Copies of this chain bind each other. A is one copy, B any other.
């Protein structure tokens, strides 16, 4: 038995003769190592788990891809779990990963920052930590100092700043903002960038030009209808997500609005579809794939000397064709 183990793992020298005999037996018997037994005995190829809302969301998929790549490069498997937006399900998943002794559990996607969120997430962090797993928050509100968790964020505010500055530089002054739902860290960051850009260009902030909603296409469609009905003065829109921008473009065009001449639009996320629509959507590029890779790297390398446990990745504007100078009214 021990010799077989040594042949399979290559951990210790085995004579050529023995090795050959073992390999032949392995072949004859269709012998396969049992990963569970191996994990149990300590020499684990622990997996990396990623928990997200829905695999089909392009940004989630991009993060998942980064995670998968980096994990594979380090010889680990990736477990993907979808919560479909249910916090109960999230809890169950984290628990499941806990039992699996995952090396890292990566939580992806915006979350409402609340007392409840912080308490619940801190509990995840501590219980995972107690079995050697690392909790990674990807694009989520960070926890307080001292909680054993790694945070990978991106610069929501500066991305929004760049996007809105771009509109302002083109000459727009009445810019509708659709930053996303209240209390979400991403939405608040994007709104802050919007306000800061207005300020930097000496344009007053008008709360009436902020419409709340989520990041779905339906939300963009709804905003478009309000825009058409209530805000004839608006010449440009800063959308909190590409989905919102796409929904808005669709409804606006149906209503006969010519794009981008009559209405300029910038999105957020730079999903693949942004380059496929007409006009191609100018949007804020978020390095989702890199976030996934970074999450795995930080979680797995946290024993080195300068172990980082918080990273903020940069965002930048991807200029395409959905912004033009404002048309004289």
Interface, chain A (partner B; CB < 8 A): 30, 32-37, 39-40, 44, 47, 54-56, 58, 61-62, 64-65, 68-69, 72, 77-82, 89, 96, 98-101, 127, 130-131, 217, 246, 250, 253, 272-273, 276-278
Can you show 5 pairs from A to B with CB atoms below 8 A apart?
Answer: A36-B36, A37-B40, A55-B55, A56-B65, A79-B79
Contact B72 A65 (CB under 8 A): no
A72 CA / B93 CA spacing, docked (Å): 10
Given A36-B40, A276-B250, A276-B277, does the pair A30, B130 have CB atoms closer than 8 Å? yes
Q: How many copies does the complex hold?
A: 2
Contact A79 B78 (CB under 8 A): yes
A8 CA / B101 CA spacing, docked (Å): 18
A77 CA / B131 CA spacing, docked (Å): 20
A56 CA / B65 CA spacing, docked (Å): 7
> Which 9 A/B pairs are nearest by Cβ-Cβ distance?
A36-B39, A36-B36, A80-B80, A273-B273, A35-B99, A56-B61, A36-B40, A35-B100, A55-B65
Known: A58-B58, A250-B278. 8 other contacts (CB 8 A): A30-B127, A32-B99, A32-B127, A35-B36, A35-B100, A55-B68, A61-B61, A64-B80
Residues of B contacting A77 in the complex (Cβ-Cβ under 8 angstroms): 79, 81, 96, 100
A278 CA / B254 CA spacing, docked (Å): 10
A96 CA / B78 CA spacing, docked (Å): 12
A34 CA / B89 CA spacing, docked (Å): 20
Nearest B residue (CB) for A95: B32
Question: Which of B47, B72, B130, B277 meets A277, CB within 8 Å?
Answer: B277
Residues of B contacting A72 in the complex (Cβ-Cβ under 8 angstroms): 81-82, 89
Minimal beta-carbon separation of A162 from chain B (angstroms): 24
A40 CA / B39 CA spacing, docked (Å): 10
Given A65-B82, A273-B276, does the pair A56, B58 have CB atoms closer than 8 Å? yes
Nearest B residue (CB) for A69: B82
